[in-house]
Structure 1
C-alpha cells in the first residue's frame, strides 16, 4: 500500500473515548482539537489526560471540528503522527553503543512543517543519528512533513522531550559536544571541530535559539553572510552546518 494512502486512513481519530484510549496506548498524537464549551465527566477525563501527557491542544468552535471530519466526533478530534517517536534516553544510549561518532540534531521551536520536512531530508542525507524536538511548540509530523522530507522521516529517529535544556544536559553528560547555530557570536561554523561526538541546535524561524538554551551550550557558531539579507532560512542554514560536519568527518 502506498505510504500516503496508509496515512490518509490512519492520521485522524475522533470521539472522546477513542482519543482517551489512543493516549493511554501511547499513540503518537500531534494535536487534539476540542469543542469549546463542552463539559461532562468523560470530557474532563480527556482534558486531564491531555495535560498529563503534554499533548498540544486547541479549543475550537464546532464548525472547525465539522470541517475536520464528517463523522460523529463528539466534540474531539485528534491528529495522529504517521511515525512513532523514540524514547530519548533509549535513542541516545543505543547510538552511543555503536562504533562511530554520534551526530544529533536538536530543533528549538522550529514550527513550520515544510521547514521541518526539509531539515529531516537533509539530516537523513548527512547521516544524523537522531532528531530531538520539544513536545510543546515544535512542528508536528504531518503529510506535508512526510512529503517535504521525501520520506526521510521514516529513516531518521525523532524523539520528543519535555524540555530541550534537560536533553542538552543529558547529551553533555554522555560526552556529546553541543553546538548552537546563532548569530550571537563571532565564531563561524568553520572554526568548530565537528569531528567529535556532537549535537547541533537550530533555532526557530525568526526567533532563533532561546537565551536559556544558548547559555547551556559548549560552542556557538554562525554562518558568514556577505549579502544584504541578514539571515538564511532555517532549513538552508541547517544544511550548511550538517554538511560542514560531514566534510570534516570525511577529510
Structure 2
C-alpha cells in the first residue's frame, strides 16, 4: 500500500476524530491556558489514551502549523491508502447499492478536505483519486475534512480511467458532473450502485473520462454565475443521491 509521510494535523475536532478512530498519534501539542468544553473533551480523550502531550505557547503552534490550529497540533503516523478492489468488494458486502466518489485531478487541498467531509456524511463507501496530479492529502486537507479522512477509505489509482473501467465491470454506473450535457442530476436514477465523478476546479472532468462514463449530469444554474465551487457542487450532488435513497 502507498503511504503518506508522517504529517501534522491541526484543529480541535480533527484531533478528536483522529483519537476516536484509533489513529496512532505520536505527539499532541496543546496551547497553554485554553479552556472550553471542546478542549476539556479533547484533554479527557488524550488522558484516556495515554498520548504523549506537551503544553506549549501559541508561538510554538504557529511554527508547527501555518493554518488556524485552534490551539491544537498533533503529529500522526502515516495514513494508508486502501486497495480499490478490496474496498469495492467490501462495499458490496455491506450494501447492494454502494456509493463511490472519483476525483479527477482536483487540485485545491481545502476543496479536497471539504469533499471528504461531505462524502463521509453522505455515506460514501470510498473516495478514489489519481496517483499523480491531484491535491495532496496534507494537514490542510485533514483539518478541512474535520477528521472525516479517518472514517472514509481513500484509494489511489494510476489513472481515474482505471477506476472507471473497474467499477463498470463491477456493475457500478458512472455519473460525471459536467456542464457539457442537457441532463440534470435529478434526471439520473441514483438508487443503483453509483460512482460520482467530480473534476478539476478549472477544467472539470477530463474529456477522456467523459467519453467512458454512463451518464453526464449537471446542476441547474439559476443565477448569472455559470459554475459552483467544486466542493459545493459535490455536496449538492451527493445529497441528491441521499435524497433518492431515503
TM, length-normalised to structure 1 = 0.68
CA distance in 2, matches of 1:195, 1:87: 25
Uncovered stretches (5+) of structure 2, i.e. residues with no partner: 1-14, 29-63, 65-75
CA distance in 2, matches of 1:205, 1:130: 21
Aligned residue for 1:6? Answer: 25
Q: What SS does the aligned partner of 1:208 have?
A: coil
CA drift at 1:6: 3.2
CA drift at 1:127: 0.2
CA distance in 2, matches of 1:100, 1:174: 12
Q: How many residues align?
A: 182
CA distance in 2, matches of 1:93, 1:162: 19
Q: What SS does the aligned partner of 1:172 have?
A: helix
Uncovered stretches (5+) of structure 1, i.e. residues with no partner: 10-67, 69-79
Question: Pairwise mapping of residues 102-251 of structure 1 onto structure 2 (< 5 A)?
Answer: 102-250=98-246
CA contact (8 A) 2:25 2:77 kept: no
CA drift at 1:92: 0.9
Query: Residues 81 and 186 from structure 1, CA distance in 2 versus in 1: closer, same or farther, beyond 3 angstroms?
Result: farther
CA distance in 2, matches of 1:115, 1:213: 21
CA-to-aligned-CA distance 1:65-120 (integer Å, 9 cap, x gap): xxx9xxxxxxxxxxx98421001111111112223310000000001110000000
CA distance in 1, matches of 2:205, 2:243: 25
Query: Residues 156 and 191 from structure 1, CA distance in 2 versus in 1: closer, same or farther, beyond 3 angstroms?
Result: same
TM, length-normalised to structure 2 = 0.70
CA contact (8 A) 1:105 1:132 kept: yes
Q: What SS does the aligned partner of 2:100 have?
A: strand
CA drift at 1:8: 7.1
CA-to-aligned-CA distance 1:223-248 (integer Å, 9 cap, x gap): 11111111000000000100000000
CA distance in 2, matches of 1:81, 1:165: 30
CA contact (8 A) 2:175 2:196 kept: yes
CA contact (8 A) 1:81 1:141 kept: no
CA distance in 2, matches of 1:102, 1:204: 24
Q: What SS does the aligned partner of 2:233 have?
A: helix
